[in-house]
A = this chain, B = another copy of it.
Amino acid sequence: MSEVVTPRPPLGCAAVMLGLFRAALQERHLPVTHQREAVAQVLFESGGHLSADDVAERLRGGNGHVGKATIYRTLGLLVEVGLAAEHDFDEGFKRYETRIGPAHNDHLVCTSCGEVVEFHRDELDSLQEQVARDRGFHVLTRQLKLYGLCALCDSESGDALRPAI
């Protein structure tokens, strides 16, 4: 059985990712600006699934101000160079996460508290291949979302009458 890929990037990872971002920019002859570094750093240090507003809010608290347009532009840039992934959890807006190595496509989403947990099962990969072969489909990427209640919200909602004996 496979295990969580990266619930949280290891310590020091943010710095490494920032370096990769700078390199990617230089490789494309794009300026390495303070704003781009600030946005990338916030995302890399969070280790979670941030919305553009989340990024804006975290920037307001300390690291200086960055316009929302620039935040969107930088997040798009991060996705483009492969250092971030975009997710849509049906909340009416997109979320972004640091992307390390292969894509993280499979998520558990708590519809009560909004928690998002990644998971991976090798069976899914082979299942995907089988379906693609059967249908003559050339699969490029996948998104699997299991919506429901996390253990905490589930116990809060239903177990009020059933204290753990």
Contacts of A154 in B (CB 8 A): 136-138
Question: Could you tell me how many residues of chain A have their Cβ less than 8 Å away from some Cβ of chain B?
Answer: 35
Of the residues B121, B124, B137, contact of A108 by C-beta under 8 Å = B137
Bound-state CA distance A136–B108 (Å) is 11
Contacts of A139 in B (CB 8 A): 108, 146-148
- Chain B residue at smallest Cβ distance from A140: B148
A83-125 contacts to B, CB under 8 A, are 88, 90, 108, 110-111, 117, 119, 121, 123-124
Question: Given known contacts A88-B90, A117-B135, A143-B144, what 11 new A-B pairs fall within 8 Å (CB)?
Answer: A108-B132, A119-B131, A121-B130, A127-B127, A132-B146, A135-B151, A136-B151, A140-B147, A142-B145, A143-B143, A144-B145
